[in-house]
A and B are shown apart, each in its own frame.
Chain A
Amino acid sequence: MKTNLFDEVKLGLQQQSISRRGFLKLSGITGGGFVLAATLPSFADELGTLVGSAELNTFVQLSSDGTITIYSARPDMGQGVKTSLPMIVAEEMGAKWDDVFVLQSEVGEEYGGQWVGGSNSIAASFNMMRQMGASAREMLIGAAAETLELPREEFSTNNSEVIHESGRRFTFGQLASLAIKQPLPDEDSLTFKDAEDYTIIGTSVSGVDNLVITTGLAMFGIDTEVPDMLYGAYHKCPAIGGSVVSANLAEIKALPGVKDAFVIEGNGRVDQLMPGIGIIGDSTWAVFNAKQKLKVNWDESNASKDSWRDLVKTASGLKDKRGRNMVVNKGSVDAQFDKKSNKVVEGFYTYPFVAHFCMEPMNCTASYVAGKAGEKDSIEIWVPTQNPASVGPTVAGLYGLENDRIEVHVTRLGGGFGRRFSNEFVCESVELSKRVKRPVKLTWTREDDIRHDYYRVGGFQALKGAINKKGKLVAWDQHFIGMRKDGRAVSGSRFSRNEFPLPNLINARGTSTMLDIATPCGPWRAPGANTHAFVVQSFIHELAHLAGRDHLEFLLEVMGKRQWLNPGNIRSLNTGRAIDVTTLAAKQAGWGKKLPAGRGLGLAFHFSHAAHIAEVAEVSVDKNKKLTVHRVTVAVDVGPIINRSGALSQVKGSIIDGLSTMVGQEITMEAGRIEQSNLHDYPVLRIPAAPEVDVHFIESDNPPTGLGEPGLPPLAPAVGNAIFAATGHRVRTMPLSKEGYSV
């Protein structure tokens, strides 16, 4: 029997989706997150003016029963913003977290930025969320002060109550209808709580969607169902950019459950609508099954001819040369290399393309409705996206419509990692719906998802460094061999003069060479950082070894004196914070402790996304090159932590994801075709290999910022350095499986 609980929760969810902006009452469950019954309070009509400001009533609503509804405008892809951002609002309001429930907002300018990526949400929204909470608090206090005819300075809020100095108090619910009528506080008059008075920020809160996630009721994009919906698949040329000459469409249309199959010309844009075959059916299986039986003649004259093997060959021919583009050149690098008394080491590093592999493959549901009687066409879209505001304009542009003809609903995302910024799966689903004049849910197969990704770009770096007689680093030469497409460096393939340790050194040269590719690349969890950290932090260890010095001491020396390189800019390295996290991680990991043969500690630091993070990995390597990562110790400075549970989860997840990536993941291509397709040839880390992770936060006065990405980059060099400590073998090529390692 299905349980009562199941039906109740499901009912609540349906009502939420019908009346997303309606007033909904939470019943039975404390702590927010979902809705069991919809009740409209008597003043529902006035809710539009609840706090008198478009901005404020956009985020906070209050009902007479004390329920506080907070809208989360940014999509949740696992980074936890649907919990952490409302925590900030609730904190300033003086709300009790148990009274809060959170709803995903619609898409609209009034919500401010709605995209999610770059570990940016906390940094970008912290102030706005505080203002929303503080503004609501001031209106509640105003209502209480008026009621008691006492000065508002004598009131404060706590635990969903407004409290007078005398001890007299009102619940938020009691004041709801009066608070609505209060004037909107002036933004400049708002004051914010001192951090020491926080009761919600800094605590551990279980994610607001956890109940629906664990009961199978969370609605991801792939779970969308709308009336009259059909199921769709889209098949593109395996060599990116090819177009359709002919296909066995008659055969496909005769397959069970298939309703239609047709060629789509597309507009030739990888980020919009590439040529392909659309298949429509009465189930996902019907169209997946048909897709496997497709036989297509492709015209590949304009398709990608990329070859990873050729890229490797070209790059290795460049390793002893300098790049043509000079990124930085200071001091006397060559003179130091020529000096007889200096020792020199060189290293050529390689990292592959990798796929995003969001657990939820790309998908989108669209309903294209032709306008009747002179009306323009309209389109409704349900999509898991990291970039809600881009969806409408992209589709409107494609079909020559005004943006107001497009309605976009954002679902929960089964992972993002930078993959869900583009809109090609949106455009494909809209096109399918337009063709069949019914709503269509397009689901990509896992094979589509791996073969048509915006990959984390691969690349190469040739490094050379010199150590003087005193064991100091005196010259650094770094040749970055990256990738460009259509004349522009792709995401993750930029080499900046600010890349550590270039700004910290006296004699340093950075040059770059860009190789042309046609394969689409895009942001992938900590773009650029996820490969730079591996190269730079491994090579610094090589230099420390050459100098015969302790890696920790050497790394701290390279960081130099405590300074903020670009004071006031949180995106610039602060060597003081760098030194602090590195020292803390080393100490907590027992740096210098005696370990048995075949076991070693590896250290790495990386600064990215306004986060200073150091990691120490403890690794054993057996005679078959099988690795055991026993423990990773992490020290993090991202300023104050909002949701401790969420922050820990992000760091631990980044460590495991980083290990998964470095051990066996590699995307290769030949003749423009991606050679991997599913988990049998794209191995991922499983639970037995998950290390212990020990996280330490330094909650500095850094403004709070996000943790979705920056925990990942230091992991690969920390493990690589530990392998060296354990075995004396230097890993310069990713993934580790290339050099015979496994977990």
Chain B
Amino acid sequence: MSKYTLSINGESREVEAEPDMPLLWVLRDRLGLVGAKYGCGKGLCGACTVHLDGNPVRSCTLRVADVGDAAVISIEGLATGNGLHPLQEAWIEHDVAQCGYCQTGQIMSAAALLANNPTPNDDDIDAAMAGNYCRCGTYIRIRAAIHSAAKNTQSSVGQPGRSVVSHWVPAQTMEERS
């Protein structure tokens, strides 16, 4: 057992873990951050995706000993200020999730994409998201939600975070979604 000081969602967190323990299990079993999911344990499904210094990584194959002082952002740290991340808003607006299990990983991959490429086309989206499997088959809405979040990110630059209330789409106004 070794001690590690990790930077998780902007906070410094002390954990005791075996050096080989993947970051996924440190987050889930040691820190109680269960938003990153276990799907395959082999880096093949993307359910465990978090950001390491802004890059999307599969936390199931990243040893805790190799994290060092890199900044880890998990889904729990994606929203900042008082508002959701534009992708979280778009995911709700487009009613993307079915079972929802893969979606935190999908959103983290999409967030890394938008951070590097604020206006991705379908091919950019496909390339960035191909590592994230969804058994429920929500890919079509994932594409649509990324496009609409990209638009919102563009237009809301410099805007203060929106209040939580605006994140819900009332039944009456929600158009038929793709």
Seen from chain A, the residues whose Cβ lies within 8 Å of a Cβ on chain B are 1-6, 28-31, 76-80, 97-98, 199-200, 203-207, 209-211, 213-220, 222-223, 225, 231, 256-257, 283-286, 288-289, 357-361, 412-417, 443, 445-446, 644-646, 648-650, 652-657, 660, 678-680, 684-688, 690, 692-693
Q: A218-B100, A283-B29 are in contact. List 13 more A-B contacts (CB 8 A).
A: A2-B9, A2-B76, A78-B97, A199-B172, A209-B100, A210-B97, A211-B167, A214-B87, A358-B135, A359-B99, A359-B136, A645-B174, A686-B132
Closest chain B CB from A29 CB (angstroms): 6
Question: How would you classify the secondary structure of chain A's contact residues: helix, strand, loop or mixed?
Answer: loop
- Are the CB atoms of A656 and B168 closer together than 8 Å? no
Q: Knowing A214-B91, A687-B132 touch, does A30 contact B41 (C-beta < 8 A)?
A: no
For residue B140, which residues in chain A have a CB less than 8 angstroms away from its CB?
A: 652, 656, 690, 692-693
Closest chain B CB from A669 CB (angstroms): 21
For residue A685, which residues in chain B have a CB less than 8 angstroms away from its CB?
A: 137
Seen from chain B, the residues whose Cβ lies within 8 Å of a Cβ on chain A are 1, 9-11, 17-18, 20-22, 25, 28-30, 32-42, 44-45, 47, 74-84, 87-88, 91-93, 95-104, 107, 125-127, 129-143, 164-165, 167-172, 174-178
- Are the CB atoms of B40 and A678 closer together than 8 Å? yes
Q: Knowing A214-B103, A215-B35 touch, does A446 contact B177 (C-beta < 8 A)?
A: no
- Are the CB atoms of B11 and A360 closer together than 8 Å? no
Closest chain A CB from B169 CB (angstroms): 5
Q: When A and B form their complex, which 3 residue pairs have the shortest distance between CB atoms, in order from nearest?
A: A216-B35, A656-B137, A78-B99
- Are the CB atoms of B20 and A225 closer together than 8 Å? no
- Are the CB atoms of B101 and A203 closer together than 8 Å? no
- Are the CB atoms of A360 and B41 closer together than 8 Å? no
| Distance in angstroms between the alpha carbons of A220 and B103 in the assembled complex | 12
Q: Knowing A3-B81, A30-B165, A210-B95 touch, does A216 contact B75 (C-beta < 8 A)?
A: yes
In the complex, which residue of chain B has the Cβ closest to the Cβ of A659? B137
- Are the CB atoms of A654 and B137 closer together than 8 Å? yes
- Are the CB atoms of A210 and B76 closer together than 8 Å? no
| Distance in angstroms between the alpha carbons of A157 and B64 in the assembled complex | 58
Which of B84, B99, B125, B131 touches A415 (beta carbons < 8 Å)? B99
A-B contact pairs, 14 of them (CB 8 A): A2-B11, A205-B174, A209-B97, A210-B92, A210-B100, A214-B88, A220-B100, A284-B29, A358-B135, A359-B101, A359-B134, A414-B101, A679-B42, A687-B125
In the complex, which residue of chain A has the Cβ closest to the Cβ of B145? A214
In the complex, which residue of chain B has the Cβ closest to the Cβ of A77? B99
Which of B76, B174, B178 touches A215 (beta carbons < 8 Å)? B76
- Are the CB atoms of A687 and B143 closer together than 8 Å? yes
In the complex, which residue of chain B has the Cβ closest to the Cβ of A3? B79
Q: Knowing A213-B100, A214-B84 touch, does A646 contact B95 (C-beta < 8 A)?
A: yes
- Are the CB atoms of B11 and A1 closer together than 8 Å? yes
- Are the CB atoms of A359 and B47 closer together than 8 Å? yes
- Are the CB atoms of B95 and A446 closer together than 8 Å? no
Which of A204, A216, A289, A445 touches B34 (beta carbons < 8 Å)? A216
Which of B36, B133, B142, B172 touches A216 (beta carbons < 8 Å)? B36
In the complex, which residue of chain A has the Cβ closest to the Cβ of B22? A285
